[in-house]
Amino acid sequence: MRRTSAALISLLLLGGALSACSGSDATAEADAAARKLEKALVAAAAPAEEGDPNPFAGLAFSSGSPDEVLESYRALVGGMAGITPAVTIGEVSESKDRYTAPVAWSWPVVDGADPWSYETTAEFRPASTLDEGPTQVVFGPEVVAPDLADGETLDAVTQATDRGDITGADGQVLVTERQVVRVGIDRSRVDPAAAQSSARALAQLVGIDVKPYVKAVEGAGPRAFVEAITYRAGQEPAGFADALATIPGAHTVDGELALAPSRDFAAPILGRVGPVTAEMVEKEPEKYRSGDIAGLSGLQARYDDQLRGSVGRVVYAVPAEEGAERRELYRHDAEPGRALAITLDPDLQTLAEATLPATGPAASLVALRPSDGAILAAANNPGTGGQNHATFGQFAPGSTFKIVTSLALLRAGLTPDSPVECTPTTTVDGKQFKNYSDYPASSLGTVALREAIAQSCNTALIGERDALAPGDLAAAAATLGLGIDHDLGFPAYFGEVPAPASDTEAAASLIGQGKVLASPMAMATVIASVQAGHTVVPRLVDQVDVAVPAEATPLAPGEADQLRAMLRQVVTEGSGRGLADLPGPPVLAKTGTAEYADGDAVRTHAWMVAAQGDLAVAVFVQTGESGSQTAGPILEGFLRGAL
């Protein structure tokens, strides 16, 4: 009896040990599958490229193949706007022959906000508990989100924020939300097999690049609206609605978008707003999601965080049944953006754009207020191809730069009455320099410096090059606000006056050529500094503090008086006589041309700068006859309109 009892006890103990070993093996098998599932759930939710391997390929499932599970999972999360969750699967535990593990999900639905976090449960069937085959994962919608029923899918809907306005002079609204019509492909309205051809047809209809748009439509979720273009309400092309109706899935959505008063109003500077690009999403996935609206260029892009505010998102569980009510699972409300105040005067900006030629070569106009440097207009005509030449162009300023040369010579000891030699030509190290073709013969010979400036004599200034020490020209430029770059909160080029590499280059620098460069904004700053009697620093964005660079030697009162008298003579007796009959305060001016290479041809930039009262203006035309003939009439028209 004792022997039997001892044997029975030994058998029971051995059986218990075997059972414990079997349970431990099963838990380990389930845990190994859990680690693979954890990685697969993240990888399968991320945007995929054609040909990518199936993240679930190393797993077995209780129902369905890895390919079928991948298709089911992507259908479940396809409406999550490309957001990739963080997934952590805890330790596997066994209870009543069920092997389960907690699954912690965290979706960064809105950048900077608390993520949408929750926990579900995953079940595993270890291989050692099955008759045959590998460990299985029990997969269903309840693994992805709590209480998610069969047929339901997740849909993250962006809650648009009220974008901050951009205001101009005196608080006038320049950019605000205006009514628009968004045109795109609605993936829920087109058969997946036809989405590609619909995207191609729509891209061709609205005139956008076909390939990237087709790719965007193909990569979008099954309920996504993939925007192709936005029109201002009422400005759709003739016949557009009929053509759109022939494209399956093509759809329009009424909305609002931050827009200026007109399409071209200060466009290169203000920039534009629209759906974020794939590149933006890829570069800053924590900030942008597919379908977001953001600043894409100009001030709208630079100050996007301020203007955009914080978008909101609502995550819904969407039933498969048509018309069934969706359930809200998560909400983060939008926060409005903050306004951006700038100095542009809407009336002067409109005047500048109307004054510039609508056709022909690139042309730009900048107007600023000498008393405080406020940029009141910065206009570019269509010839610039949408580029911001006004504040960021880099061109040889030609004879408008003689304002700088005049200051350098005054500081070297010359006076406006100092005699200088204006010869038809002069040669420096074998390089011949000459005056412009219709230079008045009566102003050749020995003339006062003031007359040489009034008539824009090249040879006279080049002849005084030995009066200047290295660095004198650059120092004079800095005093007048040219050549020292600093951040003003917008794209601004202040020009440069590099040290010349040769005597020929030094001679060319004196007349604004060689390697001397400036933007229209920089040249408006130069004459504004003369008018104001101190170094002017242009400003556009109110919230950005600007200051005179420490490197700039102050403009002495006597220097300013002499420069103003010389530039006034340009108008009364010289190349700027076209402005002599302007009503209002006296006008100061300087004309200029600068040669530039255009392929095998040599052409000329046309410049003119002027100041009247508390207004300084620079006009640049990329290709013209001369400053007085080409840029002069534009500048005159602007000043007359401004009065």
Q: Residue 12 pLDDT > 50, yes or no?
A: no
Domain with 264 in it: what CATH number?
3.90.1310
Q: Are residues 134 and 187 in the same domain?
A: no
Q: Residue 139 pLDDT > 70, yes or no?
A: yes
Q: Tens of pLDDT along 349-401?
A: 999 999 999 999 999 999 999 999 999 999 999 999 999 999 999 999 999 99
DSSP state letters, 112-151: TSPPEEEEEEEEEE-GGGSSSSS-EEE--HHHHSTTPPTT
CA dihedral 237, 241, 246, 248 (to 10 degrees): 100
Name which of 170, 162, 164 is nearest 299 in CA terms: 164
Q: Residue 493 pLDDT > 60, yes or no?
A: yes
Q: Residue 14 pLDDT > 50, yes or no?
A: no
Domain with 110 in it: what CATH number?
3.10.450
Q: How many other C-beta atoms can be found within 10 angstroms of the C-beta atom of residue 362?
A: 21
Q: Are residues 299 and 352 in the same domain?
A: no
**Average predicted confidence (pLDDT) for the chain:** 92
Domain ends where: 315, 334, 364?
Answer: 315
Q: Are residues 292 and 369 in the same domain?
A: no
Q: Residue 4 pLDDT > 60, yes or no?
A: no
Q: Structural domain tally of the chain?
A: 3
Residue 193, sorted as left (phi over 0), alpha (psi -120 to 50) or beta, turns out to be alpha
Q: Are residues 107 and 215 in the same domain?
A: no
Q: Residue 249 pLDDT > 90, yes or no?
A: yes
pLDDT of residue 39: 96
**Residue 532 forms part of a structural domain:** yes
Residue with the two structure tokens 């580029």: 387
User: Mean pLDDT over residues 605-632, rounded?
Assistant: 96
**Spatial separation of the C-alpha atoms in residues 221 and 100, rounded to whole Å:** 31
**Spatial separation of the C-alpha atoms in residues 593 and 436, rounded to whole Å:** 9
Q: Phi and psi of 411, rounded to 5°?
A: -70, -20
Element (H, E) at 214: helix 210-219
pLDDT of residue 10: 39
Q: Are residues 301 and 400 in the same domain?
A: no
User: Mean pLDDT over residues 606-616, rounded?
Assistant: 98
Q: Are residues 540 and 617 in the same domain?
A: yes
Q: Are residues 105 and 212 in the same domain?
A: no
**Residue 127 forms part of a structural domain:** yes
Q: Are residues 513 and 636 in the same domain?
A: yes
**Residue 168 forms part of a structural domain:** yes
How many Cα atoms occupy the beta-carbon half-sphere of 58 within 13 Å?
Answer: 14
**Residue 341 forms part of a structural domain:** no
How many Cα atoms occupy the beta-carbon half-sphere of 309 within 13 Å?
Answer: 16
CA distances from 534 to 210, 247, 480, 558 (A): 54, 63, 8, 11
Q: Are residues 172 and 273 in the same domain?
A: yes
User: What does the chain come to in residues?
Assistant: 643
Q: Residue 149 pLDDT > 90, yes or no?
A: no
Q: Record the tokens describing residue 211, joined without a space.
A: 């390939």
> Are 491 and 392 spatial neighbours (Cβ–Cβ below 8 Å)?
yes
* pLDDT category of residue 322 using cuts at 50, 70 and 90: confident
Identify how many contiguous H helices and E strands the chain contains and give both numbers.
20, 25
**Residue 207 forms part of a structural domain:** yes
Domain ends where: 79, 109, 143?
Answer: 143
**Spatial separation of the C-alpha atoms in residues 11 and 5, rounded to whole Å:** 10
Q: Record the tokens describing residue 272, joined without a space.
A: 């534009």
Q: Are residues 570 and 441 in the same domain?
A: yes
Q: Residue 112 pLDDT > 90, yes or no?
A: no
Q: Residue 439 pLDDT > 70, yes or no?
A: yes
Choice among 267-276, 400-409, 634-643 with the minimum mean pLDDT: 267-276
388: CB partners within 8 A, 6+ apart: 268, 269, 298, 378, 380, 491
Percentage of residues in the chain having pLDDT higher than 70: 96
Q: Tens of pLDDT along 278-290?
A: 888 888 877 787 7
Q: Are residues 200 and 269 in the same domain?
A: yes
Domain ends where: 143, 173, 207?
Answer: 143
**Residue 276 forms part of a structural domain:** yes
Q: What is the DSSP letter of 406?
A: H
Strands 60-61 and 340-341 come out as unpaired
* pLDDT category of residue 111 using cuts at 50, 70 and 90: confident
Quote the pTM value: 0.77
Element (H, E) at 416: none
pLDDT of residue 3: 42
Residue 451 domain boundaries = 346-642
pLDDT of residue 22: 55
Strands 293-295 and 273-275 come out as antiparallel
Q: Tens of pLDDT along 88-105?
A: 999 999 998 899 999 999
Q: Are residues 449 and 548 in the same domain?
A: yes
**Residue 320 forms part of a structural domain:** no
**Residue 100 forms part of a structural domain:** yes
**Spatial separation of the C-alpha atoms in residues 270 and 176, rounded to whole Å:** 12
> Are 150 and 295 spatial neighbours (Cβ–Cβ below 8 Å)?
no
Report helix angle 66-77 to 2-45, nearest 10: 50
